[in-house]
Structure 1
Amino acid sequence: MTLTPVAAAPASTSSSESSAVLAHNYHPLPVTLVDGLGSWVTDVDGRRYLDLLSGYSALNFGHRHPALTAAAHAQIDRLTLTSRAFDHDLLVPFAEALAGLVGPLVAGPPMVLPMNTGAEAVETAIKAARKWGHEVKGVPDGQATIIVADGNFHGRTTTIVSFSTDPDARRGFGPYTPGFRIVPYGDALALASAIDETTVAVLIEPIQGEQGVVLPSESYLPAVRAACTAADVLLICDEIQSGLGRTGTTLASELWGVQPDLVTLGKALGGGVLPVSAVVGRSDVLGVLTAGTHGSTFGGNPLACAVGLAVVDLLSDGSLQASATALGAHWGARLDALVDEGLLASVRRAGLWAGLDVPRASSDPGSPTTARSTSGPVDGRDLCERLLALGVLAKDTHGSTIRLAPPLTITESDLDLATDRLEHALR
């Protein structure tokens, strides 16, 4: 297999990193994009790349999906913002459509609370759980606790980083918000043991995305659901990255037949057009939030609802979910072959979402990895830079791991092309 890089090795510093006026809170790959359509994007020099990051699942439907851009353009010409001081004609239709899509997958009659970003949705779920715990369950005000898992990623607000176990996300941002208990991810017994009379909720990612697409055992999520039900504790599933088709199902929790009490959605809900998020779940829980207790100026705005409605429509017949399942199986076989050959250390995958671990170079002269140690990628960042030179966009996480999340609309031929380039980069 011979593949020619799309350009010479890129410079080591991106335009945003070299800027004196833009805060350097990201370490982007050295590419500046100007255009995108479907699974492809173009940089300032006219080079084209296959986008296998999809904005961390915000671009599940690819760049500039015609149904989404048409909905946005039509709404921009009518009404973009009212604030929740007034109703608008798409607010209830959006809530009804989203409840129709996700409601059957959660416990109890559904209610929808629209917000903007994923972190806002998580904060909303935390507030609702605490208020429900106080007013309904009877936990004294100020004593509610929520159980979370180590390795979690739920956002970067001061409350959320208070229960992060990532030193980079947490260090230096104290004092930290109390009320959270951290247990090992995947250990249902430890989680159940952490529940006491103050526990109001368990907040968990069905699949840990930021950690490297880490999947739990088959028994884990059902055991967590059972522990929550037995103790009258809310199960909150963060599906901001995993939801809305990414795993081949509308929600990742469906993979284990689990119905959460609340689910947080974001990223793909805005179709890659603008930030849209929501909490969907039991009406008796979200119903504790009354006028003045929670809000957002832009939450549920007309433009967001127009795009959100179009997103729900794309997912309503299940064809994209089915495509993600079929393409994922095809892709998974190819990725597994790279593991069998020793080019990858391991692969974790659900639908069109994969975490790839780069092999560590061995000091054993007889090791099959030794021959590659001077030419193969040394870590996730190195692999992403090699892929960039070959016209593929991906992003590393936690050192030796990269995450891949192709658009659900990618063709099999483009997916194969990207995988060919991945194999070339690994060799």
Structure 2
Amino acid sequence: MTTTGHQTDLLGRYRDSVLGVFGTPPLVLSHGEGCYVWDTDGRRYLDLVGGIAVNALGHGHPALVSALSKQAAEAIHISNLFTSVPQIELAERLLGVAGAPEGSRVFLANSGAEAMEAAVKLTRRTGRTRIVAAEGAFHGRTTGALALTSKAAYREPFEPLLPGVSHVPYGDVDALRAAVTEQTAAVVLEPVQGEAGVLDPGPEYLVAAREITRAAGALLVLDEIQTGVGRTGEWFAFQAAGIVPDAITVAKGLGGGVPIGALVTFGERVSSMLSAGQHGTTFGGNPLAAAGALAVLDTIESERLLEHARLAGEHLAARVAGLEHPMLHPVRGRGLLRAIPLAAPVSAELATAARDAGFIVNPVEPQAIRLAPPLVVTTGQLDTFVDALPTLLDSLEATP
């Protein structure tokens, strides 16, 4: 699918005005409704990426639109010199869905990276400075979060980064045990690695991580930025392991598209590590974002989207397996955070072909595409993509 003169003009203006850290995007989108988005030429696409696991309720969900409209008319921002009812209610609600024990607390921020920065500062309050993260990890682009991220292409242009961070093979319990000592401040892990290709080590990995960190007196910090807020079929992915971490970071789907992040600390001991004046944010926890997040959490509960995410994800995996196409391997992931592995490094070409056919998917790594659709996606909508997959793949094989 080629862009029209109108799209070409807009993308040219983009190149001339926006810092080129994202390259030039393939489309200019104008609006969305439910699980669909439209470009400025009026072409419709099934959004199977959901703003990279952000648009939990899809586009234009009435509950979110209503909550934001009401709050915008009352107060958008009041600064952190004061608080608001939505901020208090959101903190309480997050503690509830996280199953956090007495004495737990919430720091509200603006993004996942900012939540990770708060987590890094939390680890410093242990009196130790060494952090163990995982190979393949992605925790953000700010310098603190980047130090925990493992991809060399992201890190190397900005080194030296925060010292004392080491990376161990993801999912390898023995390697993790060997790396954690009494000098380790924290272990920071994603329950499922999204940017690495939706890699799931299974709940037993987090069980082992909890045992290892507790024995060494280190914190266990779990990055639930992509996996949280119902994405894997639980409120948070760590809950499938039956453990209690020391802290989690949250963002993406929490606001349903409104920028928000959070650090949740578990228990009085960890929650008391950061005291007045040791951290802060201007926009974090503002009434607008808090009201939006409350609407997202309430809607996930009222529309039973946790169960739906589990069932829809299982449906997708079974349908893809049923194709028995030689280019497809078994689907990875949990809930509605999934990767479809490919037999050849053609994910970028497949994503382009899918977009031309009206589907938005993410070529997360050369031999896999990632799907993180809105939690409201129907199995019928997923089926339209699965039904198109054989033709899309066959068209790649036919391309010289």
TM-score bracket, normalised by the shorter chain, equals: over 0.9
Q: Tell which deviates more after alignment, 156-165 or 242-251.
A: 156-165
Matches within 5 A, 1:344-359: 344-359=328-343
Counterpart of 2:35, as a letter, is: S
SS at match of 2:278: coil
| Aligned residue runs from structure 1 range 28-107, under 5 A | 29-102=25-98, 104=99, 106=100
Counterpart of 2:31 in structure 1: which amino acid?
D
Cα distance in structure 1, aligned partners of 2:85 and 2:270 = 26
CA deviation string 1:139-191 (max 9, x = no partner): 4xxxx211100100000011222233212211211221102121110111111
Against the structure 1 CA distance between its residues 41 and 269, is the aligned structure 2 distance closer, same or farther, given a 3 Å change threshold? same
Of 249, 252, 264, the residue aligned with 1:264 is: 249
TM-score by length of 2: 0.92
Aligned to 2:356: 389
Question: Which contiguous aligned blocks of 4+ residues in structure 1 show a shift greater than 6 angstroms?
Answer: 11-14
Q: 2: CA distance between counterparts of 1:44 and 1:422?
A: 26
Q: 1:277 aligns with which of 261, 272, 290?
A: 261
2:212 matched residue in structure 1: 227
The alpha-carbon distance between structure 1 residues 315 and 210, as it changes in their structure 2 partners (threshold 3 A), is same
1:223-262 paired onto structure 2 within 5 Å = 223-262=208-247
The separation in 2 between residues aligned to 1:30 and 1:180, in whole angstroms, is: 36
Conserved? CA contact 1:200–1:233, under 8 Å = yes
Contact preservation (8 Å) 2:33, 2:60: yes
Identity of aligned residues (%): 38
Tell me what 2:398 maps to.
none
User: Which residue in the other structure is 1:165 paired with?
Assistant: 150
Q: Distance in 1 between the 2:88 and 2:288 partners?
A: 13
Q: What are the Cα deviations for residues 190-238 of structure 1, in whole angstroms up to 9, with x where unaligned?
A: 1111111211211000000001100114532211111112222211110
Report the Cα distance in structure 1 between the residues aligned to 2:64 and 2:256, rounded to whole angstroms.
7
Query: Displacement of 1:349 after TM fit?
Result: 2.4
Q: Distance in 1 between matches of 2:197 and 2:164?
A: 27
Residue of 105, 124, 128 corresponding to 1:130: 124
Q: Does 1:117 align with 2:84?
A: no
Distance 1:271 1:18 in 2: 25
* Shift, 1:302, TM fit: 0.9
Please say if residues 212 and 356 of structure 1, whose CA atoms lie closer than 8 Å, have aligned partners that are also in contact. no
How many residue pairs align between the two structures?
390
- Following the alignment from structure 2 to structure 1, what is the Cα–Cα distance between the partners of residues 208 and 357? 44
Residue number in structure 1 paired with 2:16: 20
Q: Choose between structure 1 and 2: higher helix proportion.
A: 2
The Cα of 1:90 is off from its aligned counterpart by 2.2
Contact 2:103 2:271 in 1 (8 A): no
**1:421 alignment partner AA:** A
After TM superposition, the structure 1 stretch with the greater mean CA deviation from structure 2, 256-265 or 148-157, is 256-265
Gap runs ≥5 in structure 1? 1-7, 361-377
Between the aligned partners of 2:192 and 2:234, the Cα distance in structure 1 is: 13
Distance 1:231 1:85 in 2: 38
- In the TM superposition, residue 25 of structure 1 has moved relative to its aligned partner by 1.1
For 1:409, give the aligned amino acid: V
Aligned partner of 1:270: which letter? G
Flag the 1:318–1:101 CA change in 2: closer, same or farther, 3 A. Answer: farther
- The one of 162, 183, 190 aligned to 1:177: 162
5+ long unaligned stretches in structure 2: 395-400
SS for the counterpart of 2:45 is strand
**Alignment map for 1:312-323 (pairs within 5 Å):** 312-317=297-302, 319-323=304-308
State the Cα distance separating 1:271 from its structure 2 match. 1.1
Provide the rounded CA distance (Å) in 1 between the counterparts of 2:18 and 2:253.
Answer: 26
Pair 1:424-2:391 in alignment:
yes
Encode CA deviations 1:349-399: one digit per residue, 9 max, x unaligned. Answer: 211121122222xxxxxxxxxxxxxxxxx5111110000010000111232
Distance (Å, rounded) in 2 between the aligned partners of 1:341 and 1:402: 15
Give CA deviations for 1:264-300 in whole Å, capped at 9, x if unaligned.
Answer: 100111111x211111122321322222110000011
- Paired position in structure 1 for 2:280: 295
TM-score under structure 1 length normalisation: 0.87
1:386 counterpart SS class: helix
In the TM superposition, residue 262 of structure 1 has moved relative to its aligned partner by 0.6
Q: CA deviation at 1:423?
A: 3.0
